A and B are shown apart, each in its own frame.
Chain A
């Protein structure tokens, strides 16, 4: 056996008094951590294979298993951490690019956790969402510069609209109509299982919001949810044809992803099953490699052409948006995208999730979504074009409070990806790229995918949307606001805590303790 320098991240504790050798853990673990020795009638576990997904722990009927983080893998060193050492050992073995999954876990400042929300006292009343209307309906899409009316007043009219004939001359561009400002982020069929895709689509449809196909096309069986599905056009153009474009409620051109700005994607051939090959429109068993750039977009004018080509292809009947990752020049980039004709701009931040990305890129490229939203909103307003596009914030929205803060910083709505997966059972082991997801989410292995019951997945997602929506209403009401529109870019309701002047200036908020 070769020398293993990499140390186990986890330690599996099995209480032999409780273990009944039922082999649930053996069958559940796709990483072959647990092994039954029939001679000894004992189950042995190999720490080094454990990814920390906690499937076995959750399913052990007698509670005999405990998975513990091994903090002291190596001699404590502030500079050369266990993670650095293990990575070097892995690369010394493989000579390859280190892959990882999910969003970055590096300890960069999480600005959400340094922002506090406001509430009413005395000078204006808080509003009770249990007794008063509280509106969180949101529209995503281009807004015209103004509205033109034709008004004919009947004689003798004085007040109100009753005696006036009004006709609207301006026609609004197509809009997405969200019952809550939360949508499901782009997660492709291929990166996640069909059951996961179906749960997302069904939940979005039932709740009145939208899910996003990601770059992998739309499975025919999910066409019934197409009215609540945003179809993505990415650099690989997988599964894109007129039918696909016209089925969706909106189209999103994916330029970048927060977890891997500037690079493409790779779905290994072994994951390209018959179904995925049909959906992506590529041969079965071939690697699906999306290029880093769109090879027909080398500049902003090319993007404009694609936007208008897609609008033409769909008879101008749906919003066409652009997803970019939050990078240093995000404000002028977003401004350019808006001017190129995008009806919405999705901005995916540094901590945005992924099914597979080079670890070094995920952890070192891009900027946090909070700063990106604030500076983009500011720039678009300075240029007087904020109304032309909606802004969707993505990249680690973890709670309803994050949603509230994102909107108050200037977003119209948010995408959630990781949070939705967690609702379906994901434990953030970050091994999505292995295709061995024990929770049946990020895998195509039929033995694993059947672990996710789409009915239950849908219900969990609906519960999550409902819970967050209720919390959003509570917080809005507390701040004396009864419509989500009045929260948008309302930074007066935010205060920073433990932030420096520069950070406060970029976020456009005052520090806690500073009054109006």
Chain B
């Protein structure tokens, strides 16, 4: 009705709208990972996604960043949106019951013209108290907690809940959201970003992407025609789709398959975008057995219809197209960097001459695994890397940066340390 005024509402009514209706949307996705776990500024991913302005319509933009909270790398980082102080009070009461709060603050933002009427956005660094029950993993408790908050507390929405990672999202174009959250001042080794082109008029901060659960973050372009099947499949394992979005159900599928059912990430594409039966029948017998079993068992986890997704997690970035490639996806490598994007332009924007640039086939995954051994190095030199990483170095390895300086972390003062 009154169009633009409605757009930036962040209230429970809108959240209910989002849970009642499934809103198809076209989108832009872009992700960068440094496999050596070297951290770089969010400016690079902002520069990239901004090139795909045309692919979003200002009703949602967001970023997932990994490696941004090295000081709390073993603790849960919760990003939470609140409509009002009451929602905040209720949620913090709930948090205090289940967690030890190490540190909390309002996420620093800056006023920009493209972003109006934002909700209250807080972050918490938490240690789980557990419930003394050895049968439930910490992750399961956290999933339960988040589902409880998002469903039961009016005006509160947990945006991300991983370790050493965070999701920044809202209603606006992604480049504006990035500036709003001052992401140029954060450094991470893995970034994904999303610009949204939904087919509805209402916008809701919680409904922007990436969608996050535990360490997972998912950005997605497409509309999954198997949504009903996938939703009912995960519901059989206790996942309740509260937002009716494809991204949510994809996240739950990943959590179920990788975390709970322990399927190796390198096999996941065989489930989510399984090969055709005629391809399976042509495989050598060992592989045929594996593929056949996966498909027979996880037929309901097949994502059907057009999609390209970029999945972030603490240890890898993963991208996948639907099996007949109905959505665009481009990948490129340069040194330790892996870029994945809806279009080639953002990659060229931040990396003029990649070593290799390719268009993955439908159903062919692109995985950038962040090396584990670098963790130690990263721990030792966490502070050093932040300071040492000069734009020149990025230019040298072919990554053309970055208009702005790396920032001074002013926006994010770690008070606890």
Mark A residues whose CB is within 8 Å of B. 120, 123-125, 127, 132-133, 135, 137, 139, 143-144, 146-149, 151, 158-161, 164, 166-168, 170, 172, 175, 377, 380-382, 384, 386-387, 408, 410, 479-483, 485-493, 515-516
Given A158-B369, A480-B306, A516-B22: A133 in contact with B223 (beta carbons within 8 A): no
Can you add 20 more A-B contacts, CB < 8 Å, to A123-B199, A132-B324?
A: A124-B305, A124-B306, A133-B276, A135-B277, A143-B296, A149-B264, A159-B367, A160-B365, A172-B293, A386-B236, A387-B236, A480-B304, A482-B324, A483-B299, A486-B225, A486-B226, A486-B299, A486-B303, A489-B232, A492-B228
A512 → chain B, closest Cβ, in Å?
16
When distances are taken between beta carbons in the complex, the residues of chain A under 8 Å from B237 are 384
When distances are taken between beta carbons in the complex, the residues of chain B under 8 Å from A151 are 264, 266
A480 → chain B, closest Cβ, in Å?
4
* A124 interface neighbour in B222, B266, B274, B294, Cβ under 8 Å: B222
When distances are taken between beta carbons in the complex, the residues of chain B under 8 Å from A380 are 236
Once bound together, how far apart are the Cα atoms of A120 and B290, in whole Å?
Answer: 33
Once bound together, how far apart are the Cα atoms of A199 and B323, in whole Å?
Answer: 38
Given A489-B229, A492-B228: A146 in contact with B261 (beta carbons within 8 A): yes
5 contacts between A and B (CB under 8 A): A384-B238, A479-B225, A481-B305, A486-B299, A516-B22
Top 8 A-B pairs, shortest CB-CB distance:
A485-B299, A516-B22, A492-B228, A486-B226, A486-B304, A490-B228, A123-B24, A480-B225
* A487 interface neighbour in B22, B229, B267, B365, Cβ under 8 Å: B229
A358 → chain B, closest Cβ, in Å?
38
- Choose among A380, A408, A483 the residue with the greatest number of B CB atoms under 10 Å from its CB: A483
* A161 interface neighbour in B223, B262, B267, B324, Cβ under 8 Å: B267
Once bound together, how far apart are the Cα atoms of A170 and B232, in whole Å?
Answer: 24
A153 → chain B, closest Cβ, in Å?
8
Given A147-B261, A172-B297, A492-B22: A381 in contact with B236 (beta carbons within 8 A): yes
Write the B212-240 contact mask toward A (1 if CB under 8 angstroms, else 0).
00000000001101111101110111100
When distances are taken between beta carbons in the complex, the residues of chain B under 8 Å from A147 are 261, 263, 293-294, 297
Mark B residues whose CB is within 8 Å of A. 21-26, 199, 222-223, 225-229, 231-233, 235-238, 244, 261-264, 266-267, 274, 276-278, 286-287, 289-290, 292-297, 299-300, 302-306, 323-324, 326, 364-367, 369
When distances are taken between beta carbons in the complex, the residues of chain B under 8 Å from A120 are 225, 305
Once bound together, how far apart are the Cα atoms of A381 and B417, in whole Å?
Answer: 48
Q: Which residue of B lies closest to A132 (CB)?
A: B324
Q: Are A490 and B236 in contact (CB under 8 A)?
A: no
Q: Are A127 and B23 in contact (CB under 8 A)?
A: no
When distances are taken between beta carbons in the complex, the residues of chain A under 8 Å from B222 are 124
Q: Which residue of A lies closest to B234 (CB)?
A: A381
When distances are taken between beta carbons in the complex, the residues of chain A under 8 Å from B303 are 486
When distances are taken between beta carbons in the complex, the residues of chain B under 8 Å from A164 are 266
Once bound together, how far apart are the Cα atoms of A167 and B226, in whole Å?
Answer: 29
B62 → chain A, closest Cβ, in Å?
20
When distances are taken between beta carbons in the complex, the residues of chain A under 8 Å from B276 are 133, 135
When distances are taken between beta carbons in the complex, the residues of chain A under 8 Å from B366 are 159
- Choose among B226, B302, B365 the residue with the greatest number of A CB atoms under 10 Å from its CB: B226
Q: Which residue of A lies closest to B224 (CB)?
A: A124
When distances are taken between beta carbons in the complex, the residues of chain B under 8 Å from A166 are 267, 286-287, 290
* A381 interface neighbour in B228, B232, B264, B326, Cβ under 8 Å: B232
When distances are taken between beta carbons in the complex, the residues of chain B under 8 Å from A123 are 24-26, 199, 223
Once bound together, how far apart are the Cα atoms of A384 and B267, in whole Å?
Answer: 24
B245 → chain A, closest Cβ, in Å?
10
A228 → chain B, closest Cβ, in Å?
18
B283 → chain A, closest Cβ, in Å?
10
* A143 interface neighbour in B263, B292, B297, Cβ under 8 Å: B297
Once bound together, how far apart are the Cα atoms of A380 and B232, in whole Å?
Answer: 11
Once bound together, how far apart are the Cα atoms of A175 and B293, in whole Å?
Answer: 10
A124 → chain B, closest Cβ, in Å?
4
